Chain A
């Protein structure tokens, strides 16, 4: 019945349904679970092989985006997350999920998990922005990207705090260790991210986080200019991110 994927929900999560939809299209077997269920019985996570933290405004993005959910992961789910990764599980964070992973120190995790080395801060414009961007795919050898064939991916961003920042040293290290997976391309950097960074992975490649929303770009009708160009129901390249994760786990 497909790879079991856990889509983690909490107060303010709001992209869970379309994430579940995209996972189904990719032949995964997703369940949407509230964090309270997981906190009560963390071992439930080990029934799954894929963890997806979807977009939204967890706890209103108060204090800073993703911060409080990141705190909960660290305080209550640290051990089970490490165990999950140890068993080869894959983690994907989209938009708010990416913010959570970065603020929990699960990304970029260059010097180990749960060490904060980067952040996603207020867009240069100071405003929330919803627009479609182009992404250059920098890594095609990862669990989450090995099926990607398109040169460029198009998908929307929708965030107020998506500017990727880190110390100069950390940014340098990130490039050296080849952990940048997606960069904004074609002048579409919507937030002022350092070096156009849109998505990164951890050193193992098991964890991927990105600000743009692949789950909103999986079928034709979701595009701003599909009219007369692609059928409304055609599967689109960003779906391959989810498919990659599923295929990887099926093979391993």
Chain B
């Protein structure tokens, strides 16, 4: 019996329908007042129509608000109006269908033959053009099928069987061009030098590689897995504006010479595991450790924002679950870069930034909330050049006993695959993320796009954390980009392994042995299980309905061997696989250009300030933050939005490690690609400073901060792009060392360029620094909103003539040149003293001064506390020639805070900062006015706090 079930919400004004109407209006599709949203379920099963009807009535609908209609699949209903139907393409993850299958099994005690879901929207009669526009906004052809005034017939999707035959790739006799063609045809993303190294290797062996061997090499050697750019030697030149070479140097590798070097030189005893596991691990207390990892998922998100962000977060959570022997995820972070949502024109094949933002947020929300991990910290940066290449960073923090930090593999350990079944999902994801996007990527890279099933991951995470400390397994890793190839290949690098591919549980038939090996199906992990505990492990997972399958074992012969139904399909030397990649010297060129920096005339200071406050980068991100659960697990002690009315934006999030101890973790982040447009070196300084500053502002110990780097850049094969990357890396080294904060983990996402015709558009080089600090005493945590009337306001730190890359100049379409330059020795001293003040408990409120300058910081403090304030610009410690109201008010100089102090602590606070730039600049007031007095003592800005709040909060009220 094949049926289609229509589940209809009886109230046509339901939120989903209203949302679609307004959503469509937002995209210029006018004339639709009502939309009926119908959930579709397609069922093929043994029971009779009557029995299936009973099932649908009982299980598939909410009887209070919905009605259900059932039709035989071959006679669907014809209605008066127009409609569209949307379903998933064959093989795309459909979590709801999995749940329905389960419910079916519970109900009938038998399995259904097939279950698919879909959605249908019914409209008044509309012409085809409008329907096309509607459909294009409601679905994504990469993962879905959409039909207009027609019916989905998913039952016709049947995967073909698979007949084994070993494929070899003719390589030995090929010339250069043919090698490159092979790389292209097989989507290997290997360059000529690399292809020749492969050819050379197989010539020595006297045979051609099998397809799966070639795929494994390509995947292992991909930029995504190898970070070739960060490992390669570089010839670096700095060139003057006139084109003269100013300096030239050879760098052995960005990673060794800068990132890792800072960590090595700092040599902090509390760094427990850095740059070797899936996440960086530091000490939390005497018994516990915390790990942190931040990943990007830019390319998949560009093509399918929900799925890309969804699986991006799912992946980084698995990194933490696969760190050491497994850490419990206790917090997520998310940072995005988009084009402004009001962008008018977008290039062909590019998803509009507004839709992009909504769907990326939805993807993070879906995964994070369903995993029960609070999403506590993040940022969003808008710039038009992120239109085709949005950036999606997701991070996860995990907690684990110190005894679970190390992992090892021994010959004889069983390879156990846990979690979801394997399908054709995401094949070539690792090599795809190392290639540039083109207009055609939309079609050619379809299989690299997928969506996740967080409940599957939650299920195995629950079991994993339950059995972790039993000593049943010796190692675990995530099955991410590159799938089994990457996970098993990496685990086997010092020992070797044999895998029987036919044992891998599949979603559907038809996968070749190669597809099984390189599939990137989500929600899978690999364990190295002690042989004597294999049964215990499998049954512990089975107990909670999780598949755990032994697919092979680690050997000790340093060879990676794959069998499919008894046939040997791969035999490879792990030393060649992991050590055979030839690295070539790359050229990097940095050109010094002095940019213009006019200071714009401001006619109406209040109006200009409101414009800055409501600009996309500065306006409240409440619309996003509230969609995330930021307090599940009950650990959050400083939420992303705090204060009596929960509107104050916290500098860092603070989470408690255990509710019985006073120790906590503070998470902050720094990102500002506009500074990088002027000089990536100072961008790195500002990002590191900001991440630290946010942590110190809430009470984090400045001596216990560790940081993560995530570089998102253009094509590093182009010398100018690489030149900027070198500048940023130099900054990373100098400032990490200067501040005494080690890098513990990092990741890069390169080739973020969009080819449109002949023009290649890179993203602005963007460095995200994520910081993790320790809170020694949770009772001393400081929040950013003003607490009381008639208290004192201090600016800590030095304001300079640094408007370059500022939110203020951007308002006038100017980038500027005077990028904020972090003075690291001054900053360290200020942070030390501020931390003393926090520990003494005399800081009522503290907010870091960053994008937008002093005024924005004060406005946020006032709005958060619902309290007015007066600020005197003349008192602000300043250094520089151009001293004007605008420069002092909007400068984005680093290492500054705005601090609220009770009058009775005036003496003590000032004493703490003796000899340093720290001045009394104002006070909180009786009323609700926000008043700034200019350098001449004149009223520069007078606003009502309520009005500022409206302006600041309404930008994203969608």
Contacts of A112 in B (CB 8 A): none
Cβ contacts under 8 Å, A60 to chain B? 95-96, 99, 370, 453-455
A68 is an interface residue with CB less than 8 A from chain B: yes
Contact A130 B629 (CB under 8 A): yes
Q: How large, as a class, is the contact surface on chain B?
A: 35 or more
**Contact pick for B646, options A118, A132, A232, CB 8 Å:** A132
Question: A87 to chain B: closest CB distance in Å?
Answer: 26
Question: A126 and B626 in contact (CB under 8 A), knowing A36-B543, A68-B102, A121-B65?
Answer: no
Task: Give the chain A neighbours of B779 by CB distance below 8 A.
Answer: 231-233
Q: Decide yes or no: A63 and B783 within 8 Å by CB, A224-B643, A225-B644 being known contacts.
A: no
With A and B bound together, what is the CA distance between A221 and B653 in angstroms? 13
CB-based closest 3 A-B pairs: A14-B372, A126-B15, A62-B99
Kindly state whether residue A125 has any CB partner on chain B within 8 Å.
yes
- B599 on interface, CB distance cutoff 8 Å: no
23 CB-based A-B contacts, threshold 8 Å: A18-B632, A34-B544, A57-B369, A57-B454, A59-B99, A59-B102, A62-B95, A67-B59, A67-B62, A68-B106, A71-B107, A72-B106, A75-B106, A116-B64, A128-B627, A130-B628, A165-B65, A166-B64, A213-B631, A219-B659, A221-B781, A224-B639, A227-B781
**Does more than half of chain A's interface fall in helix, strand or loop, or is it mixed?**
mixed
Q: Which B residues are in CB contact (< 8 Å) with A127?
A: 626-627
Q: In the complex, which of the residues B372, B626, B643 contacts A56, with contact meaning CB atoms closer than 8 Å?
A: B372
Docked pose: A233 CA to B16 CA in angstroms: 41
Question: Chain A 115-134, CB within 8 Å of chain B: the 1/0 string?
Answer: 01111011111111111100
Task: Tell whether A83 is near chain B: CB-to-CB under 8 Å.
Answer: no
Q: How many residues of A contact B (CB 8 A)?
A: 62
Q: A250 interface residue, CB < 8 Å from B?
A: no
Complexed CA–CA distance, A167 and B782 (Å):
48
Closest A residue, CB atoms, query B627: A128
User: With a CB–CB cut-off of 8 A, which chain B residues contact A126?
Assistant: 15-16, 18-19
Mask: chain A, 8-41; 1 = CB below 8 Å from B; 0 = not? 0101111101100100000000000010110000
Q: Contact at B372–A227, with CB atoms within 8 Å? A: no
Contact A103 B371 (CB under 8 A): no
Chain A residues, CB < 8 A from B642: 224-225, 227
Residue on A nearest B646 in the bound complex, by CB: A224
Q: Is B634 a contact partner of A215 (Cβ separation < 8 A)?
A: yes
A71 to chain B, nearest CB (A): 6
A222 within 8 A of B: yes
Chain B residues within 8 Å of A, Cβ to Cβ: 14-16, 18-19, 58-65, 95-96, 98-100, 102-103, 106-107, 365, 369-372, 453-455, 458-459, 462, 543-545, 625-634, 636-637, 639, 641-644, 646, 656, 659, 662, 778-779, 781-783, 785, 787, 844
State the CA gap A128–B634 with chains docked (Å). 18
**A86-142 at interface with B (beta carbon < 8 Å):** 103, 116-119, 121-132
- Please tell me if the beta carbons of B637 and A130 are within 8 angstroms of each other in the complex: no
Q: How far is the CB of A245 from chain B (nearest CB, A)?
A: 18
User: A63-B99, A119-B65, A125-B15 are known contacts. Are A232 and B641 too (CB-CB below 8 A)?
Assistant: no
Residues of A within 8 A of B639 (CB): 224
A21 to B64 alpha-carbon distance, docked (Å): 35
Q: Would you call A165 and B634 a contact (CB within 8 A)?
A: no
Given the complex of chains A and B, what is the CA–CA distance between A137 and B816 in angstroms? 58
Is the beta-carbon distance between A11 and B781 smaller than 8 angstroms?
A: no
On whether the beta carbons of B103 and A68 are closer than 8 Å, the reply is yes
Closest to A64 in B: B62
> Using Cβ atoms and an 8 Å threshold, which residues of chain B touch A37?
543
Contact flag A227-B59 (CB < 8 Å), given A63-B99, A126-B15, A232-B778? no
Asked if A221 and B62 make an inter-chain contact with CB atoms under 8 angstroms apart, the answer reads no
Instruction: Determine whether the beta carbon of A122 is less than 8 Å from that of B15.
Output: yes
Q: For A243, what are the chain B residues with a Cβ–Cβ distance below 8 Å?
A: none
Across the interface, A121 reaches (CB within 8 A) one of B59, B62, B102, B625, namely: B62
